[in-house]
A and B are shown apart, each in its own frame.
Chain A
Amino acid sequence: MQNRFGIKDFLVLLLLLAILSTQWLAMIQRDRQWPLLQTVADQVRSLEERLAALDARIGQGALTTAGTTASSQSTAAPPVAPASSASWAREGVPISWQPEPGFASDPTKVPGFRVGGEWVEVFEGQPQKLTPYLYADVYGNRVVDRVCESMGTFDPKTMQLVGALADAWQIDPDGEWIRVHINERAKFSDGSPVTSEDVRWTYEDFILNPAIDADRSRSTLADILDKVEVIDDLTVEFKFKDALFTNILIALGEPILPKRYYAQFEAAQINQGTGLLMGSGPYMLEQRVATPADLAAQWTPGQDVVLVRNSNWWVGRAPLERQRFRIIKDDLARLVAYDNNEASMVLPTSPQFNALLRDRADFEKTNYALKWVNMRSGYSFIAWQCGPRGETGRMTPFVDVRVRKAMTLLLDREKMIRDIWDGIGMVAKGPFNPESPASDPSLSPLAFDPAGAALLLTAAGWEDRNKDGVLENAKGEKFEFEYTYATGGEISERIARFVSDAYRKAGIEVTTRPIDWARYQDLLKSRDFDAITLAWSANSPESDPRQTFHSESMAKGRDNFSQWSSPEADMLIEKGRRTMDPETRMLVWHELERTIAEGQPYTFIRVAPWLRLIKRNFGNVRMYKTGLSPEEYFFAGSTSSIKPGT
């Protein structure tokens, strides 16, 4: 009889398959234990090494009472170093000694302080790379900031430039060089000291190396930096091509990389790598790659980014054991994850922020709802075409300063912020961040004043001559313009509607022109717009205004796309850029701010404050002028919550 495939055979086959697949799964299970064991073994080894070192030091009797802990020494007066230690310096130029780095506010002094715990932040998009200088998004930047340190940093409370890796520097009064002395205690997370050779290598052989894909940093640096010279083990001197105040920010602001670590990789490995990250900061990447042999183990996009405390951090000890960055792309899902306690901090949208505070009475008992303007708050604006428009060369009505001023007066920006951003934000008055010393606190933004605007427009020749509700000039041409904005955001759609309504009411015809973001830059470069809306972001208290407001940047392709030219502003910008003394420079910027307000090349709309929701079971959460400092937070326990007000 023919042997047919029956139910019994089927069952036997199924059983066989089940046995095989369990075997296979068990093998994977086993396999997964190996890397874990490896990490544990590594940790034990490093602990042993540290213990042995400690032992040796005890044996030598070199243990003093209290080591250098990271207390709030930054508030103390800058220490004056003994004269003998200034041998590294150039003669005749004053040395600026920097305070010992430390926490801006000491977490150990806050009640409820504990060590350990995990901090979870949420990214709205997928970071592609964590390698310093090669990352292409803000998320990479946020991770690198916690792992790497630069020579100097901005003091969270005063926004002054203070030393991080550097403990002193000398600045050439003419601005052509700056000599920096590295703190002798500074060391990278692998325990090796930070030396002047690391600094030189980072600038000359990493950023300026054409084989490394750090194009953006390189093009900025190549224009400015002449060379980096090693003076001794801890001293470097930067020489610049031109004397500008931004030199100092560039010399002191770039993260310093350990040469010993990065030099072992080929340029191609660095370019293709996704997680080659090592520095001297409070945290280090959990998935570290020690040698080119284990490149396959590096962090890749799609995984959470996990940082662990750098136990070798030379400044002190960060209270939190781990920092994790999760990726959640959807607005609602982010908030739900935060609510579910799957995240410690989240960036809400303005309506979400207000709705939570309004609808949940006890929200602030368990959460910090933070809203503040800091040096990283950017501003949004409408740029008016003050020169000939791109392709056609046609002159827009905005050539006349009176018209530009009237355009600002016609826009009720307070109402705009109320309607569009749910009341969150403040009216911007100029290109400088209102928290920055570069901005003059006595200057206030132009008020909403339609009557004043009408007077200005009449003076400029724009009147409703034929009583059709639309303004005309003496030649009988209608006042009309095109408003360009980027597609894809609800907010920009609403701004466009608000703006066109406001101007139509005043008798100005507005056509809106939505443009794909990928094309926006092209449009800016070719000046092919009448009015365009955009926002600038910031990451330091002052930036060089030359790019956006100097008449030399008016040439096509540069960033003065509104083609505004003012001899007075040019003069002030040149003067400010070459003033090395911060205080004098700030006065120049104040004057420039006024000049720009007079000229109104932009209608400044809104300074966007930071919005953050943070769980109250984290302590020492403070709003700083530089942003947030999660390296000084501590976890008070899953059930406890820090009382409001502390």
Chain B
Amino acid sequence: MLPYISRRLLFMIPTLIGMTLMVYTLIALAPGGFSASASAAAGGGSPAGGDPRIAEAKFRDRFLLDEPVLVQYGRWLARVFPIKFGERAQIDATGERIYPPAALPETMMVGSWGGDDPGRAVRVACDMTRSAFVAAAEGPERQAQYRALSREAKAGREAFVGALTQLRIALAEYATATKQGALVDRRGELQAPQLDHLVVDESASTWAAVRMAADTATATYARAAGARAALEASFESRPFTQAGIGILPGILSVGAPDLGWSRTKNRPVGSLIMEALPVTLLINVVAFPLIYLVSIPTGMLAAARRGSLFDVISGGVFIALWSIPVVWAGVLAVGFLASNQYLGLFPVAGLHSAESSSMAFLPGWGPSGFSRGWLLDLGWHLVLPVVCLVYAGFAVLSRQTRAAMLDNLNADYVRTAKAKGVPRHDIILRHVFRNSLLPLITMFVSIFPAMLAGSVIVEKIFSVPGMGSLMLEAISLHDAEIMLANTVMIGCVSLMALLLADILYALADPRVSYA
């Protein structure tokens, strides 16, 4: 058994990687790709000040969106994967992960513009900065030193990216003016690979602007590279505690996954999920046992009294419920059960009343009569969303139970038991029901990942801030980080659940063995 489990666990790694790679490629291939969320986040409903191209370039650079998709995927994987290679990230007191500074974009474009290879001069200067770097005393001083350098490096990098974009724009303007507009890309810039095809006419009036932009870019590049080198040296002096547990120093370590930063919400994905997941779990923890508690006994009873009025009615009612669309039921529930114009029995939206924070936790009788208390208030708010989640689930499960029970009721061992004179309820509960449980266990395990995914419709109608709404917003805004984090999470849980199902199978059915 143990070798089997460890083999399955190892197989999960390539499966997960394949899964995330597929989602990653799908997002990258979708119209607009990764930058779609960038523009949706950067552009509001009103015209931006300044040159939007430079603002966008800075935004893209902040998330390194201009790198090839596979490189981006690799970096993402390295962050999420619990086994890390290379220099460990560091964690500061606020819990922020600090990574080694990223390389500057496209130095080659600037290198070819400043005459006799200024790139080399900058490299030499950077090496000198690095070797001349003196780390401050360990502790707060070194951290303050790192932060100051980090601010400097960020400012330098932003200035350089701005200048580089300006250079690309100037080049594009020059290209358009000299009838080489075909070299310009759809963002209105001229990228480095096109430079080789550009015919240079130094007498053109737009060329002066190009020279000027190139000079600025070269100057800002030197500054940005210097600041980055200093920051790198400071990072290597380890101002903060290292993240994770080292296995081979500098080569291999184990650390918690970092789910990244949501571009549309401007917040860490991890905390977004930590807010939404408990809400979804709460609803589902109430809803799923309800489904099981209702549908399994009904299914059993229906099978035991096959063809009776109860069988027909329960089957009919459940199928009828199953066919009511949740959108419609939810709106009706809000309109009739929640509105004071009609019944007004339940709250309209959310999980707590406005005054819930000042309520006692448990219900009780105070001087002003019965008070609901926080817990009961929550329960009261959960009624409608849970009902909407539950009612359609009865049919499948009760029919499944009924079918499994009927299969077993017709089996030989049941006939033998009957012949031996075993009482009927013993036959049904001890023999038939236990044997019919197998498919139900597998079903539960496969449903479990769905509990984490949340329900988009119910969450929207009842304004429940769960995983469903988080995912829906992420999809509509192309927020890749949230989608990927969700994929990883659901993927892990699904794979674990499948493994669990197989193990349970072996435990429950002696005929199955993985030896």
- Interface residues in chain A, defined as those with a beta carbon under 8 Å from any beta carbon in chain B: 25-26, 28-29, 32, 36, 118, 120, 126, 128-129, 134-136, 209-211, 213, 215-216, 219-220, 222-224, 246, 266-269, 271-272, 274, 292, 300-302, 304, 324, 326-330, 332-334, 336-337, 339-342, 378, 390-391, 488, 516-519, 521-522, 525-526, 528, 535-539, 543-544, 547-548, 555-559
Q: Beyond A517-B476, A521-B40, A555-B188, is A536–B47 a contact (Cβ under 8 Å)?
A: yes
Interface pair B478/A518, CB less than 8 Å apart:
yes
A526 / chain B contacts, CB cutoff of 8 Å: 186-187
Interface pair B339/A547, CB less than 8 Å apart:
no
- Taken residue by residue from 329 to 346, chain B's Cβ proximity to chain A (1 for < 8 Å, 0 otherwise) reads as 001001100111100100
Interface pair A518/B40, CB less than 8 Å apart:
yes
Interface pair B50/A223, CB less than 8 Å apart:
yes
In the complex, how many angstroms separate the beta carbon of A488 from the nearest chain B beta carbon? 7
Q: Which of B16-24, B259-267, B300-308, B316-324 contacts A (4 or more CB under 8 A)?
A: B259-267
Contact partner, A220, options B50, B265, B476, Cβ 8 Å: B50
Contact partner, A266, options B94, B184, B189, Cβ 8 Å: B94
Q: Give Cα distance in the complex from A220 to B52, angstroms.
A: 9
Q: List 24 A-B contacts (CB under 8 A).
A: A128-B266, A136-B265, A210-B157, A220-B55, A224-B49, A268-B92, A272-B94, A300-B275, A301-B275, A327-B463, A342-B348, A516-B31, A518-B36, A518-B39, A518-B477, A519-B32, A519-B36, A522-B186, A528-B186, A536-B46, A537-B45, A555-B169, A556-B184, A557-B53
Interface pair B362/A29, CB less than 8 Å apart:
yes
Closest to A140 in B: B266
In the complex, how many angstroms separate the beta carbon of B331 from the nearest chain A beta carbon? 6
B158 / chain A contacts, CB cutoff of 8 Å: 210
A220 / chain B contacts, CB cutoff of 8 Å: 48-50, 55
In the complex, how many angstroms separate the beta carbon of A350 from the nearest chain B beta carbon? 18
Interface pair B186/A336, CB less than 8 Å apart:
no
Q: Beyond A267-B147, A332-B335, is A522–B173 a contact (Cβ under 8 Å)?
A: no
Q: Which of B67-75, B287-295, B353-361 contacts A (4 or more CB under 8 A)?
A: B353-361
B37 interface hit (Cβ, 8 Å): yes
Interface pair A26/B362, CB less than 8 Å apart:
yes
Interface pair B186/A558, CB less than 8 Å apart:
no
Chain B interface residue number, banded:
35 or more
B58 / chain A contacts, CB cutoff of 8 Å: 215, 219
Q: Give Cα distance in the complex from A223 to B56, angstroms.
A: 14
Among all A-B residue pairs, the 4 with the closest Cβ atoms = A556-B188, A521-B39, A210-B154, A29-B361
A334 / chain B contacts, CB cutoff of 8 Å: 349
Within 8 A of A (CB), among B458-478: 460-463, 465, 469, 476-478
Interface pair A329/B460, CB less than 8 Å apart:
yes
Q: Give Cα distance in the complex from A557 to B41, angstroms.
A: 16
Q: Give Cα distance in the complex from A340 to B341, angstroms.
A: 8
A330 / chain B contacts, CB cutoff of 8 Å: 331, 334, 349, 460-463
Q: Beyond A211-B150, A332-B335, A519-B36, is A136–B48 a contact (Cβ under 8 Å)?
A: no
B493 interface hit (Cβ, 8 Å): no
Interface pair B45/A378, CB less than 8 Å apart:
yes
Q: Give Cα distance in the complex from A126 to B460, angstroms.
A: 11
Q: Give Cα distance in the complex from A341 to B353, angstroms.
A: 12
Q: Give Cα distance in the complex from A268 to B47, angstroms.
A: 29
Q: Give Cα distance in the complex from A2 to B313, angstroms.
A: 44
B41 / chain A contacts, CB cutoff of 8 Å: 136
A129 / chain B contacts, CB cutoff of 8 Å: 266-267
B187 / chain A contacts, CB cutoff of 8 Å: 525-526, 556-557
Interface pair B266/A134, CB less than 8 Å apart:
yes
Give the number of A-B contacts (CB < 8 Å).
Answer: 228
In the complex, how many angstroms separate the beta carbon of A543 from the nearest chain B beta carbon? 7
In the complex, how many angstroms separate the beta carbon of B154 from the nearest chain A beta carbon? 4
Q: Beyond A216-B42, A302-B465, A336-B335, is A559–B94 a contact (Cβ under 8 Å)?
A: no
Contact partner, A215, options B55, B95, B461, Cβ 8 Å: B55
B96 interface hit (Cβ, 8 Å): yes
Interface pair A332/B350, CB less than 8 Å apart:
no
Q: Give Cα distance in the complex from A209 to B150, angstroms.
A: 11
Interface pair B354/A342, CB less than 8 Å apart:
yes
B184 / chain A contacts, CB cutoff of 8 Å: 556
Q: Give Cα distance in the complex from A558 to B172, angstroms.
A: 14
Known: A210-B151, A521-B36, A522-B35. 8 other contacts (CB 8 A): A215-B59, A292-B94, A300-B275, A330-B460, A516-B31, A518-B478, A522-B36, A525-B187
Interface pair B186/A391, CB less than 8 Å apart:
yes
Q: Give Cα distance in the complex from A525 to B51, angstroms.
A: 12
Interface pair A128/B267, CB less than 8 Å apart:
yes
Interface pair B49/A266, CB less than 8 Å apart:
no
Name the residue among B271, B348, B358 with the largest chain A CB count within 10 angstroms.
Answer: B348
- Taken residue by residue from 112 to 156, chain B's Cβ proximity to chain A (1 for < 8 Å, 0 otherwise) reads as 000000000000000000000000000000000001001100110
Q: Beyond A210-B151, A272-B271, is A304–B354 a contact (Cβ under 8 Å)?
A: yes
B246 interface hit (Cβ, 8 Å): no
Q: Give Cα distance in the complex from A88 to B356, angstroms.
A: 52
Q: Give Cα distance in the complex from A480 to B417, angstroms.
A: 80
Interface pair B49/A268, CB less than 8 Å apart:
no
B276 / chain A contacts, CB cutoff of 8 Å: 302
Interface pair B266/A559, CB less than 8 Å apart:
no
Q: Give Cα distance in the complex from A585 to B335, angstroms.
A: 52
Interface pair B55/A326, CB less than 8 Å apart:
no
Interface pair B43/A521, CB less than 8 Å apart:
yes
In the complex, how many angstroms separate the beta carbon of B237 from the nearest chain A beta carbon? 19
A209 / chain B contacts, CB cutoff of 8 Å: 151
Closest to B143 in A: A266
Interface pair B45/A535, CB less than 8 Å apart:
yes
Closest to B330 in A: A330
B154 / chain A contacts, CB cutoff of 8 Å: 210-211
A378 / chain B contacts, CB cutoff of 8 Å: 45-46
Contact partner, B49, options A32, A223, A522, Cβ 8 Å: A223
B279 interface hit (Cβ, 8 Å): yes
In the complex, how many angstroms separate the beta carbon of A130 from the nearest chain B beta carbon? 12
Interface pair B348/A522, CB less than 8 Å apart:
no
Contact partner, A336, options B50, B147, B348, Cβ 8 Å: B348
Closest to A488 in B: B476
Interface pair A269/B36, CB less than 8 Å apart:
no
Q: Give Cα distance in the complex from A526 to B186, angstroms.
A: 5
Q: Give Cα distance in the complex from A518 to B348, angstroms.
A: 31
Interface pair A516/B32, CB less than 8 Å apart:
yes
B403 / chain A contacts, CB cutoff of 8 Å: none
Q: Beyond A266-B94, A333-B348, is A28–B361 a contact (Cβ under 8 Å)?
A: yes
A134 / chain B contacts, CB cutoff of 8 Å: 266
Interface pair B49/A544, CB less than 8 Å apart:
yes
Q: Give Cα distance in the complex from A516 to B92, angstroms.
A: 40
Interface pair B266/A25, CB less than 8 Å apart:
no
Contact partner, A32, options B35, B92, B189, B361, Cβ 8 Å: B361
